[in-house]
Structure 1
Amino acid sequence: MDLDVKRADLAAVAAGGVLGALARYGIGTVYPYTQGDFPWSTWVINVSGCFLIGVLNTRVQRRLPRLLLGTGFLGGYTTFSTAIVEVSQAGLIYLATTLIGAVVAVTAGSLLAR
């Protein structure tokens, strides 16, 4: 792999990551989580991100778009580290619905994309 390809890959991941993180931040700002409530914004972000990962991995085969959209955008958009922190606050029901929702979403996205 030559240096230009590595730079293009890095630029794609960085650009996608910035846009994904901004999208996640925007959703979290519009629908903020307050302790004691169910963290809907994080749940919606992660489940919708899994759906899009299913679509992407089924439909997009070229390297650069996968890096931009998958590793970059969806990597910055989804926030499983926040979900794990919120499990300690929201409980095991949140953990179960996140895991089940993520698996169902990625499967649905893949099936729909086919």
Structure 2
Amino acid sequence: MTLRRLLLVFAGGSIGTAMRLAIGLWMPDEGGIPLATLLVNVAGSLLIGVLAARLPSTAEMRVFLGTGVLGGFTTYSAFMTGTIALWAAAPPLAFAYTAGSLVLGLAAAAAGLAIGRPRGTVHASGADS
């Protein structure tokens, strides 16, 4: 880790965290359901999938955007604390929220990888996309 990369992560994280806060202020929890957290985590999963497919892990832009901006934008801790609070009020809804978050996040990441993959690449199966 170079000082330059550390500064890129710091700058990107500041941007991503500010974006997450703005969305949280714009979209408050409805009925105790942390929808803003769901939105940023699913959107972040999609975008990190695109970045992972497009940029090599050593690229400085991937460090800035992926680790920095999207790392600050998405939030596992808010997902967990929001789920615990929801569990106290409505356990079945908390379970559905957790399962939905995982399924949507995985689907978004897979879609991001598919969207980001350059056209005409050969997959492990040997089929051309």
TM-score normalized by the length of structure 2: 0.80
Measure the CA separation in 1 of the matches of 2:95 and 2:82.
10
1:43 aligns with 2:38: yes
AA of the residue aligned to 1:98 = S
Q: Which structure has the greater CA radius of gyration?
A: 2
Please report how far the alpha carbon of residue 40 of structure 1 lies from its aligned counterpart in structure 2 after TM superposition.
1.1
1:14 aligns with 2:10: yes
Identical aligned pairs, as a percentage?
37
Measure the CA separation in 2 of the matches of 1:89 and 1:30.
20
User: Deviations along 1:68-90, whole A, 9 cap, x unmatched?
Assistant: 00110011000111011111233
Residue of structure 1 in register with 2:111 after alignment: 108
Residue of structure 1 in register with 2:23 after alignment: 27
Q: How many residues align?
A: 109
AA of the residue aligned to 1:96 = A
Is there any run of 5+ residues in structure 2 with no aligned partner, and where? 87-93, 118-129
Please report how far the alpha carbon of residue 66 of structure 1 lies from its aligned counterpart in structure 2 after TM superposition.
1.1
Which one scores higher on RCO, CA 8 angstroms, separation ≥ 6? 1
Measure the CA separation in 2 of the matches of 1:85 and 1:96.
15
TM-score normalized by the length of structure 1: 0.90
Please point out which of 44, 47, 52 is paired with 1:57.
52
Q: Secondary structure at the match of 1:32?
A: coil
Please report how far the alpha carbon of residue 60 of structure 1 lies from its aligned counterpart in structure 2 after TM superposition.
1.1
Runs of 4+ in structure 1 off by over 4 angstroms are: none
Please report how far the alpha carbon of residue 28 of structure 1 lies from its aligned counterpart in structure 2 after TM superposition.
0.3
Please report how far the alpha carbon of residue 39 of structure 1 lies from its aligned counterpart in structure 2 after TM superposition.
1.5
AA of the residue aligned to 1:53 = I
AA of the residue aligned to 1:15 = A
1:88 aligns with 2:89: no
Measure the CA separation in 1 of the matches of 2:74 and 2:35.
13
Is there any run of 5+ residues in structure 1 with no aligned partner, and where? none
Q: Secondary structure at the match of 2:45?
A: helix
